[in-house]
Amino acid sequence: MEPFVVLLPLFGALLAMPLGRMAGPRAAEIATTALLGVACLYAWVLFFDVAVGGNARTISLFTWFQSGDFYADWAVRLDTLTAVMLVVVNTVSFLVHAYSIGYMHEDDGRPRFFAYLSLFTFAMLCLVTADNFMQLFFGWEGVGLASYLLIGFWFKKKSANDAAIKAFVVNRVGDFGFALGIFCVFYVFGSVRFDEVFGAVASNAVVTPYGQSVGAPIRELTITFLNWDFHALTVMSVLLFIGAMGKSAQFLLHTWLPDAMEGPTPVSALIHAATMVTAGVFLVCRCSIFYEYAPDAAALVTVTGAVTAFFAATVGLLQDDIKKIVAYSTCSQLGYMFFAAGVGAYGAAMFHLFTHAFFKALLFLGSGAVIHGLHHEQDIKKMGDARTLLPLTWLMMLIGTLSITGVGIPGAKIGDMPLGFAGFVSKDMILESAYAAGEAGRAFGYFAFTLGLIAAVFTAFYSWRLIFLTFHGPTRIPEEVRKHPHEVPAVMHAPLIILAIGAVFAGMAFYSDFVGSKADKFWNGALYSADDHAPAHAPAVEAHDAAATAHEAEAAHGEHHFPAWVVWAPFVAMATGLLAAIYQYLRGDPLRPGLLRPGGMIYAFLRNKWYFDEIYDFLFVKPALKLGRFLWLDGDGKTIDGVGPDGIAGVVAASARRVVKVQTGYMYHYAFAMLLGIAALVTFIVFRLGGGQ
Amino acid sequence: MNEIAAQSLATQPWLSLLTFLPLVGAFGVALRQMLAKRDANGEISAAEIAQIDTVARNVALLFTLGAFIVSVFIYFAFYDPSVAGYQLVETAEWLGGGVSYKMGVDGISILFVLLTTFIMPICVLASKTIDKRVPEYMIAFLIMETLILGVFCALDLIVFYLFFEASLIPMFLIIGVWGSKGTKELGGVVMSSRVYAAIKFFLYTLLGSVLMLVAIIWMWRYAGTTDIPTLQQTAFPEGAQKWLWFAFFASFAVKMPMWPVHTWLPDAHVQAPTAGSVVLAAILLKMGGYGFLRFSLPMFPLASAEFAPFIYALSIIAIIYTSLVALAQEDMKKLIAYSSVAHMGFVTMGIFTGTKQGIEGGLFQMLSHGFISGALFLCVGVLYDRIHTREISAYGGLVHKMPFYAFLFLFFTMGNVGLPGVSGFVGEFLTMVGAFKANSWIAFFAAFGVILSAAYALRLYRQVMYGDLAKAKLMAIADVDARELTMLGALLVFALFLGLYPKPALDVFAPSVDLLMSNFDAALAGAAGAP
């Protein structure tokens, strides 16, 4: 039965196009949405069975790879980590399918659109249910394909095609690392299956890499990688993380995500906010045991996440395209998840992933409703006072914003449960974990905490800026649009309302399971913590560990006592950003120059997104194209051909002008001569030399 | 009684029957042409020519399909995939002096036999647009099939060499006679581009072959036989191995083709008719990789191990260099041809790692490349038949008019990119797994191919398929017809099946690869222990 939770969307993907052809687009829409509805319900059933009920299991279907000991199955692995992803993916996907029925109703390519959406969902589910690195990679690349197809869905637009290719190629840069990571895992462990690999790390088994005569306990093992000796787990973890950086649009490999907004808005909500881009976080959490014993790699994750959280938030401050703001915000929130994972708070990372899926999908679908309602306008500077035109959408966006900026009551708890919107609960958890990590001496804990706080100020500012410029203040919407706004139909509102409920309550409702008192039982070993497995027979080490890193267990169980300023800091950060936004956008002309004057250096720097696109174009894209041309014309053409065949052929041609000119009629003669030549040569040799034997 | 019957059925010369079956078809076509009715002036009427053409097409299709059915029958009835050694072996006295006619297959060759018989009917179908000298064309293809099957089945060096060399000739003719138009100036002589391409193809391959022949003679003098299984057991002196290795390398590297002897391939592909390109890419290139596995590794293990770093270097250069070159191409066929060179780089890299994953990955990559690049050349052919140009810039926005074609082309583009789930991924990934075991640097550089292949393949697809349908010539373009759908659909089924479930193919390779590796390792260990 379990495989159907993965396969139902695939059936939808396969059915959509034929159904669309035979019975019209509506049939395709209803079929795919209904199949996902069933898959979604089933995912929740499995969630309560696996995560809450503790029935983790793996169903192997059949062998995919088998070459010597390189072995991988097609499987459905169900543990809590998978179960969480299952509900996130299927729920958001179902809601996005339903929403798209309304949003895409004017588009001719609807069956294709729904086929792609369902294909994406299938690939994403393959990714999260993998029990080995190969199936994970299959899903990983599969979601990349679906993302490519959906970003380029409006294939007439050049910008959409460019963005699609950019997304695929930049992701491939990440996959470069991911693939090397898998090679490395296999080289060291002789297996790519999670149970065997993670089992070996858990028991600190002695492993012998291929071709080596002496093994070592895995946590101490060093291997030669590119002629240097490295700690094996660190190499693997870093390489896998490069893959995660690509998929989750982390600093340096983030450039594709804002461009990906060329795709239809429901796609942005599903793929580029709630699910696909979180696959990197999932990967790091899945491999948590690696990072627990590879502190340098974990530090890299922390730094990258913190820098991304900060960087993307700064760029978000000055964007005018409503979708790009939300895109940079996604990038930034993913940064939070990563540094949480980097400091060892995997539960908090997954918790934020979970809540983020609700409020970010809500914000995207809400933005879609705004765009839809205002006749395909995306520039928030051309909006204003849309609240009166789209009241329900305004309310939804408001809830999303309250959630993402982290509105709640610091320190207040009812029993175990904190009080606040979903984003508040999970983001506070992350910041506190980072602070605790810093306190415990974990690398870059304070660094992440600080950048996370600054980013929280910016998050509040750009989120409220979006709300104020779009929905409040004097209107800049053209007269004719104002007369006929398209407040969206019920099929689009219903998903918004469901997501809004999640954006408000998901944090409070699931706090105790994800990071609170029930966390150990909930995760049931799916996330690994080195502290819980400190060797009992080494009391000195244990004492040290307990002193140094017990923060996480405590933080996770809410027992840790933070200074009041740490508890209040995120709230103050949020309030600062909100007040600044009110000051700038609710008083007087909202479009007047603010602190950063247009034309200034910082303004230009931020507007141009830190010039990443320009730098990459200059460093990689243009040289690659130039080099390709050079190698072709000068390498192949002038050098190899010039010296080799053309030189010889030229001589032959020049000495036999007549023959060559006659051309095709003589081809047969050549051929016949060749045949005779071969036969004669062989015969001669065999008989002359053969006689000598 | 039944057992005896089965026994005697199994010992029939099946491989010879299969190999020479297409040749019978070629004779049939030739005979029909000779018997053509002539009028009083000795001219053949147009109606008669049309009839001969039809007969030639039908006979060719019949015999290639027949060969396919026979090969499938042989595989399922008589081939035992769990056996490592040669099977279906048949021997006949031939020239004496240790040279006999010997055929046989093992896990390394059997799937290439099946690949050949599978691709050939598709090539005949793809040749519908050929309208000049149809009987000769079909004869060339049928003869070529016999020669290629001979290459993969031969178990005697001289027999192998004859097939190997002779297979050049029909291909040379197909490019030179049925190739595309255009001229090229060289050495003060203006010649048609297809003749240039044919001669370039010929010169390159001939050069390699001459050296191989010399080596074959030396080996025969040394061992007193040209029996391949015997030679594989023969320990050649270490010094001699190096020279022999290089002689064989010269021939196989050109066929593969490896950098820097690859420049004949883009020209040959561009000039060849569609079906010619398909055979070239899908099968002829594989003779190089097959040769490395059949001769270089088992017969010259010490030299193979010693020169492996040299092969790695050439392979990596091939992967990165030709991928970059592919990025700059303006001609669809050239782009795919260069990408073929890059993909073959993975094969040579994998084979010479001497690891199980590397060798099996190399074999699998060759098989998969047969489906995918064959299909890509067919895809180009579909457009060329309609618009008569291969210039990428002449197209754009075809997705509006050709939805089925768009899907098929996208599928094979993704196969070329090495997307998991399509067969292209399996081979590429396994060869890199093997390479990482040998040295992480190799895998590191090879993995750049993963990025670059995405760039050039998607660029091609975007420029041809996406965007606005603006060019006047393209307005009336028709989607794929039933014939094209059949050809591409058949290839798609295999590429997808082997992508999701490569196990059957890998299981066929495994016993023979294990045997090859254990002999290889034993030879190396023996040499290490000797001094």
| Structure confidence at residue A301 as a pLDDT band (50, 70, 90) | very high
pLDDT at A384: 84
Residues above pLDDT 90, as percent of chain A: 51
pLDDT tens digits for range A153-193 = 998 888 999 999 999 999 999 999 999 999 999 999 999 99
Around Cβ A593, how many Cβ atoms within 10 Å? 12
More confident residue, A121 or A564: A121
How large is the average pLDDT for residues B515-522? 90
Q: Amino acid identity of B330?
A: E
pLDDT tens digits for range A245-265 = 999 999 889 889 989 998 899
More confident residue, A172 or B44: A172
**DSSP, res A321:** B
More confident residue, B235 or A636: B235
Check B420 against A624: CB less than 8 A apart: no
pLDDT at A224 over 90: no
- A1 contact B CB<8A: no
How large is the average pLDDT for residues A125-150? 93
Look up residue A485 and give its two tokens.
Answer: 């706004």
pLDDT at B275 over 60: yes
pLDDT tens digits for range B382-434 = 999 888 888 898 898 888 889 899 999 999 999 999 999 999 999 999 999 99
pLDDT at A668: 63
Test the A interface: residue of B324, B401, B512 with most A CBs within 10 Å: B324
User: Beta partners for A229?
Assistant: A224
Q: Residue B344, class by beta-carbon neighbours within 10 Å (0-12 exposed, 13-18 middle, 19+ buried)?
A: buried
Interface of A with B in 76-105 (CB under 8 A): none
- Distance CA(A428)–CA(A422), nearest Å, equals 10
Chains A, B: CB contacts within 8 A come to 237
- Cβ atoms A477, A382 nearer than 8 A: yes
Which residues of B fall within a CB distance of 8 Å from A182? Answer: 433
- A113 contact B CB<8A: no
Q: What is the dihedral of CA B428, B431, B432, B434, to 10 degrees?
A: 160
Category of B187 on φ-ψ map: left (φ > 0), alpha (ψ -120 to 50) or beta: left
Return the ∠ at Cα A135 (arms to A8 and A167), rounded to 5°.
85
- Distance CA(A273)–CA(A275), nearest Å, equals 6
How large is the average pLDDT for residues A433-454? 90
pLDDT at A123: 94
With residue A392 as reference, give the H or E element that holds it: helix A391-405
Check A649 against B261: CB less than 8 A apart: no
- The reported pTM is 0.91
pLDDT at A557 over 60: no
How large is the average pLDDT for residues B70-75? 93
pLDDT at B38 over 80: no
Check A141 against B420: CB less than 8 A apart: yes
**Averaged pLDDT of chain A:** 86
Dihedral sign (CA A603, A608, A614, A615): positive
Query: Which runs of consecutive H residues, i.e. helices, occur in A589-663?
Result: 601-607, 612-616, 622-630, 642-643, 645-655, 657-662
Helix pair angle (A422-439, A391-405), 10° resolution = 10
Peptide bond into A495 cis (omega under 30): no
pLDDT at A650: 61
Closest residue of B to A663, CA-based? B195
| Structure confidence at residue A542 as a pLDDT band (50, 70, 90) | very low
Parallel, antiparallel, or unpaired for β A408-414 and A417-420? Answer: antiparallel
How large is the average pLDDT for residues A358-369? 93
pLDDT tens digits for range A579-628 = 999 988 888 787 777 776 777 777 788 878 888 888 888 888 888 888 88
* Alpha-carbon gap: A592 to the closest alpha carbon of chain B (Å): 39
Around Cβ A670, how many Cβ atoms within 10 Å? 18
* Alpha-carbon gap: A307 to the closest alpha carbon of chain B (Å): 25
Distances B447 to A68, A180, A210, A627 between C-alpha atoms, Å: 22, 8, 20, 18
Test the A interface: residue of B222, B327, B407 with most A CBs within 10 Å: B327
| Structure confidence at residue A686 as a pLDDT band (50, 70, 90) | low
Return the beta strands (E) in B13-121 as ranges: 87-96, 99-105
Look up residue B181 and give its two tokens.
Answer: 């138009």
Look up residue A635 and give its two tokens.
Answer: 């390498």
Check A690 against B97: CB less than 8 A apart: yes
Q: Give residue for tokens 């006047």.
A: B472
First to last CA, chain A: 71
* Alpha-carbon gap: B142 to the closest alpha carbon of chain A (Å): 16
**Averaged pLDDT of chain B:** 88
- Cβ atoms A452, A362 nearer than 8 A: no
Check A660 against B191: CB less than 8 A apart: yes
| Structure confidence at residue A487 as a pLDDT band (50, 70, 90) | confident
Test the A interface: residue of B195, B206, B360 with most A CBs within 10 Å: B195
Distances A519 to A268, A516, B81 between C-alpha atoms, Å: 31, 5, 52
- Cβ atoms A354, A275 nearer than 8 A: no
* Alpha-carbon gap: B110 to the closest alpha carbon of chain A (Å): 18
- Distance CA(B235)–CA(B303), nearest Å, equals 12
Closest residue of B to A683, CA-based? B95
- Distance CA(B382)–CA(B379), nearest Å, equals 5
Q: What does residue A191 show for φ and ψ, rounded to 5 degrees?
A: -160, 155
How large is the average pLDDT for residues B273-300? 92
How large is the average pLDDT for residues A353-357? 94
3-class secondary-structure state, position A589: coil
3-class secondary-structure state, position A540: helix
Which residues of B fall within a CB distance of 8 Å from A145? Answer: 414, 419
pLDDT at A661 over 60: no
3-class secondary-structure state, position B479: coil
Dihedral sign (CA A266, A269, A272, A277): negative
Check B448 against A648: CB less than 8 A apart: no
pLDDT tens digits for range A446-486 = 999 999 999 999 999 999 999 999 999 888 888 888 887 77
pLDDT at B190: 66
pLDDT at A86: 94
Facing residue for B328 by CB, picked from A632, A649, A650: A632
pLDDT tens digits for range B183-231 = 776 656 666 777 777 777 777 877 778 888 889 888 988 888 889 999 9
pLDDT at A653 over 70: no
Spatial CB neighbours of B304, under 8 Å, sequence gap ≥ 6:
B245, B296, B297, B352, B354, B520
Test the B interface: residue of A60, A67, A633 with most B CBs within 10 Å: A67
Facing residue for A631 by CB, picked from B166, B325, B506: B325
pLDDT at A658 over 50: no
Q: Residue A535, class by beta-carbon neighbours within 10 Å (0-12 exposed, 13-18 middle, 19+ buried)?
A: exposed
